[in-house]
Amino acid sequence: MKTRLGLSLFVILLLTYSFTSCVNSNLEEPDPYNYDSDLIAIYNSDWGMIPLPNNFLNPVIQQNIVSIPGVPASDEPVIYVTLPIVDEETANHRTALGYTSEYGFTDPQEDSDLTKSLITGMNKLNGFVPNFTVSIPFSKKLDLETLKGYEPETENVEEANFFLIDITDPEKPEAIGPSKYTMLFNMVGSELPPYDLRLRFNPDDGFLPDNFAQGHTYLIVMLGWTDRGVQSLPKDGEQAQPLVSDSPYLMFAQEDFFKEEGLSYVTPEGVLRNSLLHDAADVYSAEGARQITDYGLTIWLKMMEELMPEGAEPITRADAALAFHFSISSNPMPNYFDPLALILFGSPVVPEPADYYRGEIEEDIFVPEFTVAKAKTDATPSFTVELPLAEESLKTSAFRLLEANADGSYFEKEFTVAQSREDEETVVTLTPAAVLKTCTEYVVAVSNTITDTEGLPIADQSYFGLARANTPLVSNISDESKTLSGTEPWWLSPRLDSRLDTLIADVLTNPLKDGIVSQEELDGATKQVNMVLSVLEQHRLKYQKPIEYLVESNFVATRQDLAIMWTFTTDGCAE
Amino acid sequence: MKNIKKIIATNSLLIMLLLTLASSSAWASGFYVQEMSAIGMGQAGALVASGDRPSSQFANAANIGLLDGVWFEISGSTYIPVGEYENPRGDITKSTTDPIFAPQFFMSYKILPWLTIGFAEFVEFGLALDWPEGWEGGHSSHHSEISSFTLNPNIAFGPFCSDGKDYGPLCGLVIAVGFNAKYGFIDIRRSITTGLVPPGEDPSGTLRLTGDAWGFGANAGILYRPVKWMTLGFSYRSMIKMDLNQGKANFDVPTPYASRLPDQNFDSSLSLPHIIFSGVRFEPIENWTLEVDFQWVMWSVYKELEFNFSEGLEVGPGARQYTTVEEKNYKDVPQVRFGTQYKFYDNHFTVAAGILWDRNPVPDESLDALLPDSDRIIPSIAFGTEWYGFYADVGYMAVFFMDRTTEASSGTTLPGTFRTFTHNVTFTIGYHFDLVDGKPSLIK
């Protein structure tokens, strides 16, 4: 019996060994791959860092592209973007997650009031403002020598690693060559990430950069991973590194798993199919972002197939280290401000007649100069937009003509309104019902209840959005001394209020071709932007009181519902 | 979806393990295996009141009280699973599982007429299930292997009549207690949907979880034979908490994810259920027995699964998450077994047959490819022969899994229909002899 027991124990031990011997996994150190060690195009919304502008933030476009089973479509078509605003709760949440300046990135602080005001105004659009500056954040500095834009005229498709394509018609994408645009890298000379690569079109008129076309969609694709891709600028003793992708981008760039239905992270039955994400909202976001990214990548890949010469090494989806696209607003926009006029000594306020400020910066002191319109008492104030407006939306209730009384109150004047087409522009004219008073200030205000013939609301032109803000544009100007700020780039916006960044880029893109900004050029641009902002700030201050009246009298719900507003003063004042 | 406000960032990556790890606990009735011997399996495991063969001590340790002399028994069960998944669009994926072998060993020794000891080594829980790599449910599982074995010494007291009589109002009582040391081992592999893979890298991102654990528990049983033709049995196996320490989580993922998903250790624990057995066995004519058993498997102890990681998973710069918890909410489920056995030709041959109805404990929302469990109806047959104390048996069991169809609305991660069928062939060899005055007395 002892023998049998011994045999039995042996069997047991053998079984035990056979089980335990399978447990032989070894832990391995992961390869270093992070923002400190690699050149990564940053795609991290928790930091507020993604390439901008970007249709990830545009539900109007998403509605046309994204389709996720289980997520019902909106009953009413979306007509506005909903750019996120960082409030106190969001900022605290990000801080709790560990996103602090110790990591080298911007603190996730709450958006400034100015940023919130600007974003609220931008949310009245169906896309990004036409002069939005493209900004792509990177974790390390780029070697611009390695960045080769695709130029359709020279057919350098085999060497190109940067593609800017107008994909408004996805069946007929049109590549835009580097001769049409300027790129600036690390414009502000930062020594900490993120380092931004910015892009604007070259000026058409010889001074200011050309805007993106309204209603158009643009795609940007950058190649990385190999020597063909964009490379980092090596420090001493280091080798250049190829651009690589952030992991969220890789999630978004995944191709369809369910080919027929165009889905990957959600099954056709609406079930989550993902092991990286747990919460349904996260998976829906990932799938939506994936479909948007796939939309652009698919167009690009098809274009590459047609462009690549026979026998050339094929381009694949995986070669792209970054791809995103953005759509420019197609809302009709009244023309309000012309910064070029400041240099040419004209009126920067476009509607007529209009009071306006000008000014000079003398030894860092802005000296404003106010000019009244000296309008006739039978003046018919007017403004222009490019496209025809819906006749039925041109109701007098969408306008206000206010007469400013000496005691600070306003009197609403009666008028009629009409539109006409002149020189490929629509001129909207208000005709007062009675003769205006002499030497009196009048306010013209237009709400966003006016639409174009497609029903799309009218919205503010970019500069009016600044003049309409409820917080100072030039925060360091003292009311007493009118002194501008010191050397800090105080105008640099932390996140989405890129209208300010855009102003700088607008100025810088003109003389630059190499993408490198010197301190001297930056200072010069800053001075010019200070001028523009200082002038706008004077208008902003002047508009505060009538805007408060227009909101309190329920002409508009919020100040951001004003599409345009200006003042004019009639002639007849004693000199 | 009006807006993709939240672009997925690093913090989302860690949450993967909520799903990835949580489902790795695939212990369930579907893999609560009880095929301890061929003849026992032939009776559908209805053995709580059998008083026959040492392998019946799994169902009720008091059974060994009715065994004379010394018994040894070794069995091997081979499971051949055939399964497929049909998604709601009608696409079918077949599982690729190889046959699985599970060994068992039992012995008993009657030291005194009223005192018997026994020892059992058995596989009580286990599964192995493979799906093709890259398949639709790969994020749920493409390989799962869960094994266990239990070392279970028992001691039985009774029957207490000095004349060797083992039935009657006073003589037919046997009680037993035992100790359980259970060893478990897991090897789970799961696809990780990381997205696009950088050029030159392996597209099959995988998480492999391995680990082992010991758990301890107790069992007790009563056998009562008031009359010669009827035996009542009742037994209980306690919950066993398996503490898995220093398990290994190995991530085979593309480089951009590697630093965020480092290989690391993890700790976890799993409570295996209390099991209550009861049954009654009749012997209407000599050598022909019938038994009906009822089991209550108390899976409701398995409410959630918690994992604690040694390195944590990056949720942001300088921020890591170390613990994940997943709701499981399994249900208590019954089993009903009916078995019959007939011995003939001077007890040299035995035939057995039975049928088992087995409910599954997995709610729809917890169902996935790792454990596509369903209710089962399981008929079985067996044949055995015995000469001079040596016996050899062979049994076959056909496990008919009811089609398990889940709808997307249930919350499952893999809606569709799972169809499973398993062949089970079990062989047993054993030997027993009596002891007369301390010396073996061979059985004719």
For residue B260, the chain A residues in CB contact (below 8 A) are: 247
Backbone angles phi, psi at B132, to 5 degrees: -60, 140
Tokens 């039925």 — which residue?
A: A392
Size of interface A-B (CB pairs under 8 A): 247
Distance of CA A325 to the CA centre of its chain: 11
CA dist B35 and B124 (Å) reads 8
Substitution target in B16, B196, B261, B370 with the highest count of A β-carbons within 10 Å is: B196
pTM of the complete model:
0.80
Among the ranges given (A110-114, A254-258, A348-352, A534-538), the one the predictor scored with the smallest mean pLDDT:
A110-114
What is B31-358+378-401+421-441's CATH superfamily?
Outer membrane protein transport protein (OMPP1/FadL/TodX) (2.40.160.60)
For residue B408, the chain A residues in CB contact (below 8 A) are: 70, 267, 269-271
Are B196 and A45 in contact (CB < 8 Å)? no
Sequential DSSP letters for A170-194:
TTS-EE--GGGEEEEESTT--SSSP
Given this model, what pLDDT does residue B24 score? 29
Contact status of B319 with chain A (Cβ, < 8 Å): yes
Contact status of B117 with chain A (Cβ, < 8 Å): no
Q: Which residues pair with B251 in a beta bridge?
A: B207
As a whole number, mean pLDDT of residues A232-254 equals 87
Residue percentage of chain B with pLDDT more than 70:
90
Q: Mean pLDDT in chain B?
A: 85
As a whole number, mean pLDDT of residues A427-448 equals 96
As a whole number, mean pLDDT of residues B392-409 equals 91
Given this model, what pLDDT does residue B316 score? 61
Confidence of residue B30 (pLDDT cuts 50, 70, 90): very low
Q: Tell me the three-class secondary structure of chain B, residue by residue.
A: CCCCCCCCCHHHHHCHHHHHCHHHCCCCHHHECCCCCHHHHHCCCCCCCCCCCHHHHCCCHHHHHHCCCEEEEEEEEEEEEEEEEECCCCCEEECCCCCEEEEEEEEEEEEECCEEEEEEEECCECEEEECCCCCCCCCCCCEEEEEEEEEEEEEEECCCCCCCCCCCCCCCEEEEEEEEEEEEEEEEEEECCCCCCCCCCCCCCEEEEEEEEEEEEEEEEEEEEEECCEEEEEEEECCEEEEEEEEEEEEECCHHHHCCCCCEEEEEEEEECEEEEEEEEEEEECCEEEEEEEEEEEHHHCCEEEEEEEEEEEEECCEEEEEEEEECCCCCEEEEEEEEEEEECCCCEEEEEEEEEECCCCCHHHCECCECCCCEEEEEEEEEEEECCEEEEEEEEEEEECCEEECHHHCCCCCEEEEEEEEEEEEEEEEEEEEECCEEECCC
Confidence of residue A502 (pLDDT cuts 50, 70, 90): low
Confidence of residue A512 (pLDDT cuts 50, 70, 90): low
Contact status of A21 with chain B (Cβ, < 8 Å): no
ipTM of the complex: 0.73
**Residue B129 scores a pLDDT above 80:** yes
Substitution target in A275, A293, A315 with the highest count of B β-carbons within 10 Å is: A275
Substitution target in B12, B85, B255, B264 with the highest count of A β-carbons within 10 Å is: B12
Question: pLDDT for B281-335, tens place per residue?
Answer: 999 999 999 999 999 999 898 888 788 889 877 666 666 778 877 777 889 999 9
Confidence of residue A359 (pLDDT cuts 50, 70, 90): confident
Q: Domain boundaries in chain B?
A: 31-358+378-401+421-441
Q: Which residue of B has its CA nearest to A72?
A: B1
Given this model, what pLDDT does residue B137 score? 83
For residue B1, the chain A residues in CB contact (below 8 A) are: 59, 62, 66, 68, 71, 284-285, 288
Contact status of A186 with chain B (Cβ, < 8 Å): no
Which residue segments constitute the domains of chain A, with CATH numbers given? 40-83+123-327 (no CATH), 339-569 (2.60.40.1220)
Distance from CA of A196 to the nearest CA of B (A): 19
Tokens 């340790």 — which residue?
A: B61
Tokens 């027993």 — which residue?
A: B432
CB nearest to A25's CB, from B10, B103, B250: B250
Q: Mean pLDDT in chain A?
A: 83
CA dist A260 and B320 (Å) reads 38
